[in-house]
Amino acid sequence: MTLGDPQTAARDENETLALQVTGLTKVYGGEVALADADLRVGRGEIHGLLGANGAGKSTLVKIVGGAEPQDAGTVRLGGVTLPPHHRPAAVAALGLAIIHQDRALSPGLTIAENIALVVGFPRRRRLIDRKALRELAQAALQRVGMRTDVDTLVSDLPIAEQTLVAIARALAQQADILILDEPTANLGAFDAQRLYERIRDLAAQGVACVLISHALDECLTVCDRVTVLRDGAVVASRPAAGLTGRELAALVVGQDVTTTERERREIPASAIPRLSVRDIGHERLVPLSFDIAPGEILGVTGLPDSGHLLVGEIVCGVAAMDGGEMTLDGSPYRPTERPLYRSDRVAYVPPDRVRDGLAVDLTARENLFLDGRTPVSNARLSRREEARQATAVLMESSVRPADPEAPLSTLSGGNMQKVLLAKWLATRPRLLVLAEPTVGVDIGAREDLYSRVRWARDNGMSILLTSSDLEETLALSDRILVMRYGEAIAEYDREELTLDQLTALTTGTREGHLP
C-alpha cells in the first residue's frame, strides 16, 4: 500500500475544516488566560467547547471573534488565515457569527427589523421596501424552523424563539460557522430539546456549530466532538460518543465528580410545618396546597410555563395571591413584596441574578451589606468589620476570589450566584426560596452551591426549590411537587422517582413506568 502525501493530507483536512485554531496563547498582566490551545471544527459538525468558569473559553472566543488579539498562535476560517489583529468585520465576512447569551436583539423592534439591522434594509425608491423586508426575514426564519409572523415584536417572543431569531439573523448574513454561548441557559428541558433539533438541522445543512454549555449531559447528546479547557489549556478533544457524563465532568473539573446525597431526614408526623400553604390561588394557578417541614427541601418542578416559579413568587410576595392562606411556624403569614426580597423570616433568590438579585456595579462586600445591615445581626458595622465578615462569608461559600472589594462584574456567573446565595444564607432565614439557582453555572460552581443548600437544610432551614432542571430537583429535594399547566399533578418522595419518571410527569408522556 502506498502512503499518501502528508502535505496533500494536511491540505485536504484544511479544506474540510470550518474553524482551525492552532497554538492560541493569551496573557493578561502576567496571568496566562490561554496556553497553546488548539481547536478544530469540521463543516457540518456540532462541537462542544467546555470548561469551568475561568477555563479560557471566553478568551478563545474573543480572540476568534476579533474582540481581542492573540499573543501567539493562528486562527483559520474556511482555510483563510487571519492576521493577529483581525477585526470582527473580517470574521463576519468569512462567515463566522457569535450568538451571545444575551442574544443582542432589540426588543422594541420586530423580528424583521432586527434581521435588517445587520443585513441592511431593502429599499425601493429610497424608501424601505416592507414587502422585501418581510420576505427576507421569512426566508431566514424558515432555516431555523420558525413560522412566526415576522412583524412580531421581539419582546413578545419566548426566550427560546428569541435565540432562534438571533441564529436566523446570523444565517441571513451568510454565516456558516456559529459559536453559540450557553444557548439553553434560560430554557426548560422541552425548549432546550427543540433548540437542539434546530441546531442538528443546521449541521445537516453544512453549518459548523461550536456549542459552549455547562449542560454536560446535553452536550454528550447533541455534540459530535467535545474539546475541554481547564486553566487555559486544552486537556481533551475527542468524539462525544466515547464519553460518559461522569468522565466528561471529571475532565472539566480535574477530578472525579460524585454527587453526594444526604440521607433523608425523618420528619415527625406531629411536627409543626415551617410553611403551610392552603388553596392559594392566582389567575395562572389551580388552587394549591402543600407543607414544608423544618429542615426539609421541597422541590417544585415543571416545564418553563408550568407555574413552578410562580409558586415561589407568591410565597415571597413578589406575586400576589388570589385567595387561600399560609402559615409560617404555625402563625398566619401573608407576605408583601420587600426590597431585595428579604424579610426577617423569608429570603428569596430570584432566577435572574444580574437583573433582580445583585448590584453588579458594586463590590462583593457592598452586595452582602446592601440593605445596611450585617448578615448576622441588625447592628451597623464599620467598614473594616464589614470587610472582615464579608471575607469570612465569601470563603465559607467558596467564592473565588474571596476578595470583599472585588467588583461583582469581574466575577464569573457561578461566583456571582455564590455571593447571592451567601447574602441570604447569612441572614439565617427560616424559609429560603430558590428559583432556578444554577442557571448558566458550571459544574464545579454548581456542586459548591448544592453543598451550601444542603448545609442550610442540615442547619434547620426550610427550602422551597423552584427549578425546571430535573436532575437538580432530584439531587437536592426531599419531596417533589410536579406542576403542569398551573396545576400540581403529583407529589412524591425523592426516593420514589427516577429521572425518566420525572421527565414523563413534567412532559405528560406515558414513558418512565410511573410509580
Cell 388552587 belongs to 287
* 51 Rama class: left (phi>0) / alpha (psi -120 to 50) / beta: left
> Where in the chain are the domains?
13-253, 293-507
Residue 8 has pLDDT above 80, yes or no: no
Residue 375 has pLDDT above 70, yes or no: no
Separation between Cα atoms, residue 12 and residue 101, nearest integer Å: 34
Residue 342 has pLDDT above 60, yes or no: no
Q: What is the mean pLDDT of residues 169-179?
A: 95
Classify the C-alpha dihedral 500-502-507-510 as positive or negative. Answer: positive
Residue 186 has pLDDT above 90, yes or no: no
**DSSP assignment of 310-356, as one string?**
HHHHHHHTSS---S-EEEETTEE------GGGB-SSEEEE-S-IIII
Counts of helices then strands in the chain (DSSP H, E): 16, 22
Residue 407 has pLDDT above 80, yes or no: yes
End-to-end CA distance of the chain: 61
Domain 13-253, CATH homologous superfamily name and number: P-loop containing nucleotide triphosphate hydrolases (3.40.50.300)
Contacts of 45 (CB under 8 A, 6+ apart): 18, 203, 208, 209, 224, 225
pLDDT of residue 172: 93
Q: What's CA 295's distance to the chain center, in Å?
A: 28
Q: Is 485 helix (H, G, I), strand (E, B) or coil?
A: coil
pLDDT of residue 379: 53
Band (15; pLDDT cuts 50, 70, 90): low
| Same CATH fold assignment for domains 13-253 and 293-507 | yes
Computed over every residue of the chain, the mean pLDDT equals 86
Q: What is the mean pLDDT of residues 274-279?
A: 96
CATH class for domain 293-507? alpha beta
Which of 50-54, 420-424, 449-453 has the least mean pLDDT? 50-54
pLDDT of residue 259: 47
Element (DSSP H or E) covering residue 415: helix 413-425
pLDDT in tens, 69-85: 999 999 999 999 999 88
Residue 188 has pLDDT above 70, yes or no: no
pLDDT in tens, 215-273: 787 889 999 999 999 989 999 999 999 898 888 888 887 765 554 444 555 666 667 89
Band (410; pLDDT cuts 50, 70, 90): confident
0.85 surpassed by pTM: no
* Phi, psi angles (nearest 5°) of residue 220: -65, -30
